Amino acid sequence: LPGLVRAWGQARRKEDSRFMLTGDQYKSSLNDGRRVYWNGKRVTDLTGCPALKSSIDAVARTYDAAYRPGDRAVSELLQLPTSADALAARMSLHTEWLTEISFMCVMTALTAASRIAARCPERAAAIRAYVDMLQHQDLRITECITDAKGDRSLAPGKQHDADAYLRVVERRPGGIVVRGAKLHVSHAAIGHELLVMPTKAMKPDEGDYAVAFAASVNSPGISIVTVGEPTPGDPRDFPFSSREFVPQCFVIFDDVFIPDERVFLDGEPDLAATFAHALGLWTRAGGLVNLADDADCLVGFAQLIAEANGLDKFVHIREKISDMVIHATIIRATLEASLKNCERTTDGMMIPDELFANAGKYLHAANWSLMIRHLQDIGGGSVLTSPSISDCENDEIGALVQNYMRGKQGVDGRYRLRLLHAIRDYTLTSYGSYKSFSNLHGGGGLYAQRLVTRNRYDMERAKRLALKAADLSGAAP
């Protein structure tokens, strides 16, 4: 049976099979011979692997919810927004993360295609044909950009290990052979495809590193090490950890052959950054949708626990919550400005504004720890040390636990406990740490957003305004 399923999985990748997948078909399609490792062992049953199971189930539910029968049906989740309203609607859909990443990959690829089309029309055409295949086969794709990097002070071409950045090691008739690794790739083990691109701009002598392509996850030479697993626990005590987990993956390319039709860039160093910028735009704008909700959620937690504790009228508590409200409002404003100022590409699809998306992502990541500090300060020690909900249910001590967990008059002890557990899980558990860390580095570190914001900012206009205000227009050197 596994052999048959594998054969089916490979057959459905043929370019002429065009239909949407159900959740079960998605699960079966993962059984395609891919090499996935977890905790030192090869994973033979992905759907049973503790690190992957909950994510696979969540993705399967999304497939089922979006499914429409029929030849050439295209999932609305992978359709291209061609108006500002369609862009805003798609960005606010909030399915699970693999599907969102897949949409961002599709948009990244097409954004890059529109930017390289004038110079490399055949590469742009290959990207468009590839996206068409993804849409019509309803595949999920993950973004592989971050290299191993070795010594960060050295350029790719000057590294002691030439493979520290992924590169072309051979060019053959019909395709190229690539070697290297891409790190921290969210969900790579449970998607179908990998969209691979250079992590940054390349120098003129770094043509072998200026390579972008797509590879099927089960291509010979690709191995994926998946990292971490969801935290086990009662969902009432760990409401976030128990339902959200993103497997992070270490993807190794050990001399992988990529056919010409899947090569989107090879040997054009001056175009390397085009792909990285397109990905940065989509991951930051896409991430900002969640960040804006996260910022509001922090405000909500702070206000709810302040009310439950009888603290909501105290001046210093109100000031902390006001700081959080201002933060949340500014993050949402950057999201809305990014969507309102979207631009149409030459292909007719809409892309968010880079300046606002980068400024918003930066601000949220830079201020997250202060917002968490306010929330934990307001919540008090019980955020960390509250008994579990099962303790509330114990015949001997449950009633007493609930009694002493009451807050102000009328606040039920069990309700307050669950609120405290939610705040702990959101800010203190491994889920909370994951959230803080992914705010910082996911979609690129703070420096990357500073760089883009600065590049996109209209500095000349700012200078003109300053000169006018100082009555110095026309006098500047």
Ligand X SMILES: Cc1cc2nc3c(=O)[nH]c(=O)nc-3n(C[C@H](O)[C@H](O)[C@H](O)COP(=O)(O)OP(=O)(O)OC[C@H]3O[C@@H](n4cnc5c(N)ncnc54)[C@H](O)[C@@H]3O)c2cc1C
Q: Which residues bind ligand X (CB under 6 A)?
A: 143-146, 149, 152, 182, 184-186, 437-438, 441-442, 444-445, 447
- For the bound state, the minimum distance from the C-beta of residue 445 to ligand X, rounded and expressed in Å, comes to 4
The answer to whether 130 and 178 have CB atoms below 8 angstroms apart is: no
- For the bound state, the minimum distance from the C-beta of residue 434 to ligand X, rounded and expressed in Å, comes to 7
Q: Count of CB atoms within 10 A of residue 97's CB? A: 20
Determine which helix (DSSP H) or strand (DSSP E) holds 437, and give its type and residue range.
helix 430-441
Radius of gyration of the chain from Cα atoms? 25
Tokens of 465: 């305004």
**Residue 371: phi, psi to the nearest 5?**
-65, -40
| 134 vs 401, beta carbon nearer ligand X | 134
In angstroms, the Cα distances linking 126 to 114, 202, 214, 242, 261 are 12, 22, 10, 41, 6
Tokens of 266: 């090879």
Q: Count of CB atoms within 10 A of residue 45's CB? A: 11
| 156 vs 207, beta carbon nearer ligand X | 156
The answer to whether 23 and 64 have CB atoms below 8 angstroms apart is: yes
Q: Tell me how far apart the alpha carbons of residues 420 and 128 are, in angstroms, rounded to a whole number.
A: 49
| 189 vs 422, beta carbon nearer ligand X | 189
- For the bound state, the minimum distance from the C-beta of residue 172 to ligand X, rounded and expressed in Å, comes to 26
- Name which of 66, 123, 59, 142 is nearest 96 in CA terms: 59
| 235 vs 445, beta carbon nearer ligand X | 445
- For the bound state, the minimum distance from the C-beta of residue 184 to ligand X, rounded and expressed in Å, comes to 4
- For the bound state, the minimum distance from the C-beta of residue 63 to ligand X, rounded and expressed in Å, comes to 20
- For the bound state, the minimum distance from the C-beta of residue 251 to ligand X, rounded and expressed in Å, comes to 9
| 131 vs 141, beta carbon nearer ligand X | 141
- For the bound state, the minimum distance from the C-beta of residue 113 to ligand X, rounded and expressed in Å, comes to 19
- For the bound state, the minimum distance from the C-beta of residue 45 to ligand X, rounded and expressed in Å, comes to 24
| 212 vs 324, beta carbon nearer ligand X | 212
DSSP state of 258: E
Secondary structure E strands in 260-391: 263-266, 343-344, 350-351
| 143 vs 266, beta carbon nearer ligand X | 143
39 SS3 class: coil
| 55 vs 303, beta carbon nearer ligand X | 55
- Name which of 207, 246, 157, 215 is nearest 431 in CA terms: 246
- Name which of 23, 225, 193, 26 is nearest 108 in CA terms: 193
